[in-house]
Structure 1
Amino acid sequence: MIETIEVSRVKRFAANTAGRDFAVGDIHGHFTRLQAALDAAGFDPAVDRLFSVGDLVDRGPECRDVIDWLAKPWFHPVRGNHDDYVVRFDTCDTENWVYNGGSWFAGLAWDEQREFAAQFADLPIAIEVETAQGLIGIVHADCPFPSWDQLRAELESPESNKRLRLVQNSCMWSRRRIEQNETEGIEGLRALVVGHTPLRSPATLGNVIHIDTAGWMPDRGYFTLLDLDTLETIPATRPALTHDFD
């Protein structure tokens, strides 16, 4: 139906002329809850696509299910900081990772760990999706440059491995925009979609849309689906929850 072209760390998708495109916030091993959100939105896997801002694993009870989800032809994630732990499992700060939900990985056999790492290493740092209204960019946390073209160039043709690591870390870890309420947008995009920072409701700063509404926190959060064509969210308003953020 739709061809994709992967160039290094940026994955590009042509417009979806057969169905709808959605983006979803951090999943963190809660795929049953995610499927329920998709069902509620009438998601049709035959024609629709789901783009994920990353952080597929850690914290939730269904982290191992991620392999099944990565095999779905309609599911397309970028790499989040927690996913990057998996890629670097033999060199990362294991103590910090386990503290932040990575204990599931420590219990895997060595061969399984390597298989997870290999699949996660294939996740792009950035995704761009054509829509009838313009180009949509997706990264986990933020774009560290004022233009999408500059980010693409830095990821595809880095001047050094050190520079690449700095750029990738910013894409996967930065909370500067949301913490400082920066409203400058990203040139070259209709919208940039990010997660990483859990919020009570989606927030838009300039043309950057933050959609991690903590669907991975049972009773406290919910999954937001963003229609990439209309930029409308599902659900349109925040549902009633058992608990709120502290």
Structure 2
Amino acid sequence: MLETIEVSRVKRFAANTVGRDIAVGDIHGHFTRLQAALDAIGFDPTVDRLFSVGDLVDRGPECEDVIKWLNKPWFHPVRGNHDDYVVRFDTCDIGNWMHNGGTWFVGLPRDEQQNYQVMFQDLPIAIEVETTQGIVGIIHADCVFDTWSQMKSELESPQSYKRLKLVQNTCMWSRSRYEQQDCRPIPDVRAVVVGHTPIEQPCVLGNVYHIDTGGWFKDGSGHFTMLDLATLQPLNPA
């Protein structure tokens, strides 16, 4: 397995030649459920890799366990909008964040808050994974650009800080493709995998795969979708 090459806000992964590459939907502080889902598909941490569409924290009971997961060498998330709250904890709309599950964070000592901030700042906005059929892109919410390359260029070589913030926020917050049921494919990438919008079952619009199927739902009615990046098919429990 080749080493990763990190360039700015986009992280690239060479093909996994010894195991599986799997993407999972939003986690929201439910790491015990996530581990159970991995166990159910026979995930092998010695050869397999898990790519997360982000939203690692908020809403669930195990948000502080995110530190353990970020230290796992096979776990690779992008930054979701809830993760970005942590990055901006001292400047964001705290009331909105608390309303959306951020209460776990406010009682932490200041140095711990800053430690989370540093870790989450290091999360890329986008990930590229090589597969035998081509590149699969991973972002949290949406690619609103005509091409994946244009989005990467905007992230890696922004015209201004203001423009960068706009593009990052779009990648982490937009639901326009899903809301408009836009089936136009992104032409220069095999597929793009996103979360952010909770749905009952995975949905494919063009070549964009929406996989947040509510594994984090409080009532347990949802499930974690595990998408095999080689086949672009959800994995069923063994």
TM-score, normalising length: structure 1? 0.95
Identity across matched positions, percent: 71
Matched, 1:194 2:194: yes
The aligned counterpart of 1:231 is 232
Structure 1 stretches of 5 or more lacking a match? 237-246
CA distance in 1, matches of 2:220, 2:89: 31
The aligned counterpart of 1:222 is 223
Matched, 1:88 2:95: no
Q: 1:219: Cα distance to partner?
A: 2.1
The aligned counterpart of 2:57 is 57
The aligned counterpart of 1:66 is 66
Query: Are the aligned partners of 1:144 and 1:167 in contact in 2 as well (CA < 8 Å)?
Result: no
Q: How many residue pairs are counted as aligned between the two chains?
A: 236
CA distance in 1, matches of 2:83, 2:18: 30
Q: 1:74: Cα distance to partner?
A: 0.2
CA RMSD of aligned residues (A): 0.8
Deviations 1:11-38 (A, max 9, x none): 0000000100000000000000000000
TM-score, normalising length: structure 2? 0.98
Query: Are the aligned partners of 2:128 and 2:136 in contact in 1 as well (CA < 8 Å)?
Result: yes
SS for the counterpart of 1:129 is: strand
The aligned counterpart of 1:159 is 159
The aligned counterpart of 2:110 is 110
SS for the counterpart of 2:11 is: strand
The aligned counterpart of 1:119 is 119
Q: 1:185: Cα distance to partner?
A: 1.3
CA distance in 1, matches of 2:89, 2:235: 35
The aligned counterpart of 1:130 is 130
Q: 1:123: Cα distance to partner?
A: 0.1
Structure 2 stretches of 5 or more lacking a match? none
Deviations 1:141-182 (A, max 9, x none): 011201011011100000001110110011000001101100
Q: 1:2: Cα distance to partner?
A: 2.9
Deviations 1:24-69 (A, max 9, x none): 0000000000000000010000000000000000000000000000
Q: Which amino acid aligns with 1:27?
A: I
SS for the counterpart of 1:197 is: coil
SS for the counterpart of 2:105 is: helix
CA distance in 1, matches of 2:28, 2:236: 20
The aligned counterpart of 2:36 is 36
Q: 1:186: Cα distance to partner?
A: 1.0
Deviations 1:108-129 (A, max 9, x none): 1000000000000000000000
CA distance in 1, matches of 2:220, 2:155: 38
Q: Which amino acid aligns with 1:86?
A: V
